[in-house]
Amino acid sequence: SQQGEEDPQALSIQEGENATMNCSYKTSINNLQWYRQNSGRGLVHLILIRSNEREKHSGRLRVTLDTSKKSSSLLITASRAADTASYFCATGRGGGNKLTFGTGTQLKVEL
Amino acid sequence: GAVVSQHPSWVICKSGTSVKIECRSLDFQATTMFWYRQFPKQSLMLMATSNEGSKATYEQGVEKDKFLINHASLTLSTLTVTSAHPEDSSFYICSAWEGWVGELFFGEGSRLTVL
Tell me the pLDDT tens digit for each residue of B103-115: 889 999 999 999 9
Q: How much is the pLDDT for B40?
A: 87
Cβ-contact B46, B56 below 8 angstroms: no
Please count the residues of chain A.
Answer: 111
Query: Nearest residue of B to residue A47 by CA position?
Result: B103
Confidence of residue A94 (pLDDT cuts 50, 70, 90): low
pLDDT, tens digit (0-9, with 9 covering 90-100), for A36-81: 999 888 899 999 999 999 999 999 999 999 999 999 999 999 999 9
Q: CA geometry: angle at A72 spanning B49 and A91, to 5°?
A: 10
Residues of chain A found within 8 Å of residue B107, distances taken between Cβ atoms: 42
Q: Which amino acid is at A15?
A: E
**B49 contacts A98? CB cut-off 8 A:** yes
Residues 47-86 of A with CB under 8 A from B: none
Q: Say which of B43, B105, B108 has its CB closest to residue A102.
A: B43
Instruction: Please give the angle made by the CA atoms of A55, A59 and A62, to the nearest 5 degrees.
Output: 25
Position A95 pLDDT exceeds 70: no
ω into B40 cis (within 30 of 0): no
Q: Give the strand pairing for B110-114 and B10-13.
A: parallel
Mean pLDDT of B26-39: 93
Which of chain B's residues have a Cβ under 8 Å away from the Cβ of A3? none
User: Residue B81 has what pLDDT?
Assistant: 97
> A103, B42: Cβ pair inside 8 Å?
yes
pLDDT score of B41 more than 90: no
**Virtual torsion, Cα A85, A109, A63, A30, nearest 10 deg:** -20
Percent of chain B with pLDDT over 90: 80
Q: Is the pLDDT of residue B70 over 60?
A: yes
Mean pLDDT of chain A: 91
Spatial neighbors of B45 by CB under 8 A, at least 6 apart, are: A2, A101, B36, B37, B38, B59
Q: Tell me what the mean pLDDT of segment A86-99 comes to.
A: 81
Lowest-confidence region among A18-32, A84-98, B56-70: A84-98
Mutation site for A-interface testing, chosen from B35, B43, B51 by largest number of A Cβ within 10 Å: B43
Phi-psi region of B88 (alpha: psi -120 to 50; beta: other; left: phi over 0): alpha
